[in-house]
Amino acid sequence: MTYVALPGRPGPRTGLLVRAGPSPPATTLSRVNAPTSSSRGAATGRRATAARTAAVAAADGPPGTASGETRTALVRRARRIDRILAEAYPDARCELDFTSPLELAVATILSAQCTDVRVNQVTPGLFARYPDAAAYAAADRAGLEEQIRPTGFFRNKAASLIGLGQALCEHHGGQVPARLEDLVRLPGIGRKTANVILGNAFDVPGITVDTHVGRLARRLGWTVETDPVKVEAELAGLFPRRDWTMLSHRLIFHGRRCCHSRKPACGACPVARLCPSYGLGPTDPELAARLVTTGPGGAE
């Protein structure tokens, strides 16, 4: 059996072992002493990254895991990562501004393919003009489209908002329902948006699988699934229900600020030594630090 150490983890001098090449059935990840990244040159880093990538690709772990670790080890590692992210992002929260379930529903619909920053610039005037479901139901389409134009896809979004207002008035007394099965039947609201509303407006735990959550779940080796519903189910099995909403916020914060889609800041990542995808981005601490952002970041 051959093992390759994942080198270059910042923080404590520990790394992860992953199987490389032919091997017996899956074994658990083990911690070993590994040198830090500060003394490694670019060439060494590239060779280490290539070795890591090949090793992870060769691992033949059970379905749903990325590196062959046991279920118990996966759960422990996942929950440890969440604890570290909780320390790294103590202010993690929904970054859309709202004061009611309806406002959150509207803001979340507008956030599709748009930054939260831009949505928050548009919604104060929108909420003042359309204070309740009846106002959206009776809205002039052209006027509504013009008001939400800066968020993009304004025609489709306007149709969803008008349909949402009408459905709420016809079936829910003008109020946003607090059940998943009711929410997903409303125009413009899918499972992701429903979980945002439940978790942040009604304190009902839910996992919001947006692009950030899905990407990080795969990079962290929590799942190999790409379908959001399947990713949600996988994550639900790793964490206590009470943690689902905050887990989503932490992953979104981390995805927007550090673990970017194209170029993750691996050398500045607080969970690098627990991540099987370490090395996808720059591992040099100074280079990585330049990639870290402090704001909400890009669109979903």
Residues identified as active-site:
192, 210
Task: Give residues with Cβ within 8 angstroms of 268, minimum separation 6.
Answer: 10, 258, 285, 288, 289, 291, 292
| Residue 74: strand, helix, or coil | helix
Both tokens assigned to 292 = 């870290």
Residue-by-residue DSSP string for 115-179: -HHHHHHHHHHHHHH--SHHHHHT--HHHHHHHHGGGS-HHHHHHHHHHHHHHHHHHSTTS--S-
Burial class (CB in 10 A: 0-12, 13-18, 19+), 14: middle
Closest residue by Cα to residue 213 from 267, 17, 167, 199: 199
> For residue 288, what is the enclosing H or E element?
helix 285-289
> For residue 31, what is the enclosing H or E element?
strand 31-33
Task: Please give the backbone phi and psi of residue 18, each rounded to the nearest 5 degrees, phi first.
Answer: -130, 150
Both tokens assigned to 22 = 């032919």
Instruction: Say how far apart CA 144 and CA 130 lie, in whole Å.
Output: 9
Edge-to-edge strand ranges of the sheet holding 31-33 = 2-5, 14-20, 31-33
Closest residue by Cα to residue 115 from 162, 150, 161, 156: 150
Tracing tokens 């489209």 back to the chain, one arrives at: 145
**Pair 200, 190: CB distance under 8 Å:** no
